[in-house]
Structure 1
Amino acid sequence: MLRPLTLTLDDHPLTIPPITAITAYDIAAKGAWINLFPRTLPTPEQNWINNRLTNPHDPLTLRTLWRITHAITPTLFGVEWWTACTLAATWTENEVFFESWAVRQGSDLTAPDVAPIRMTGALLGWLADGCKESLTWEKMWHDLTIPPAYTTHLDTEQQPTDPHIPLAETFTANAPTWAHTTPTDTPTDEPATTDFTAGAATWLQQLRTTPPSQTPPVPFENDASRN
């Protein structure tokens, strides 16, 4: 079942409308994390974030959005962002084989009411069915879920949430720990460019230089980064 996801950023309520499995996995296949958050927000809420990003005195940065994307991904996909990206890449490279397996299972994962977490379950089931031994699946699961090096820039004390119940989450711009906390100082270190995706930085630069009368740029339009 598709459900909206609610959260707050600096006490400002935001709601991500329901996202279909195909839309979410298309985003993950490109590694376009900004297209997951904040680009899935309604236009007024996107404008609120864009205005903050273009204000040099505002503590909201790309790093904040990057961390929020990683924090909400387990609720939307049922797995971490890096796992979702790997599954999405596997799906796009083997779409015909996966779809034929899904048809045999009686599943239509392209239906508009299919949630991303159901797509995740189907992809994991398809991969598990292809493993002849339990040890093979255990190794595959390890390879899918092992955190990449850049996760050292993410928070380690996030509050766990039930992926089946999208709950409101509280975030603070550049806070080292999200839930119900206020940062005592603002971290200055930024993830390396390759880990932070150059596409996001390019989009922000274009956003800051685009006149208000023009349409804001589309992030990752020509970028294949997956972090």
Structure 2
Amino acid sequence: MNKKERAEFVGKTLDAIYPDPPIPLQFSNTFTFLVAVLLSAQCTDKKVNAVTPELFALADTPQKMAQIPTEKIEAIIRPCGLAPAKSKHITALSQKLLQEFGGEVPKTFEELESLPGVGHKTASVIMSQAYGIPAFPVDTHIHRLAMRWKLSDGTSVEKTEKDLKKLFPQEEWNRRHLQIIYFGREYCPARGHDVAKCPICSQIGCREKV
């Protein structure tokens, strides 16, 4: 198979297994979604979902969050890792949302990436999953599988995003992002991967040393 054929097979397989993939993070509005995505950096969604109910019970809007002492936020989110930095970012972005965006989460990449602690991947997740605007957030699962499936060369996350956007139609990007994450967790792990049992790797051939 050439790269285009591999991408088409990947897409069909993902649609068959995960026709309507849910967002794995728990949230009640766009602000709490933004905070949850920020917390998910270098942390599992399961662990994020375990700590956010307590945090969001205290503050589920930037107005409320800006009033919570950063030290209290840090104590709540400590299980997620990087708590000192993440808590400061949550306080600072809440304040900036109030000061510059009327308390609303902005809808452009430039504005989102101007928020403390919000990089391109986080902004892409918000754009795609909160606002339905086509984007292709690349996390470690997606970067790893794109290289394993020979859809990208693994040079960088930026290169992987660019390659995947070329291979998949724009209207598929938002669901492909979620589908690949779920598939990586369930069928195509970084360690202990059994090619023969993988619905994709068993059919298209893949790089094993990824």
TM-score above 0.5, yes or no:
no
Bigger fraction of residues in helix: 2
Bigger fraction of residues in strand: 1
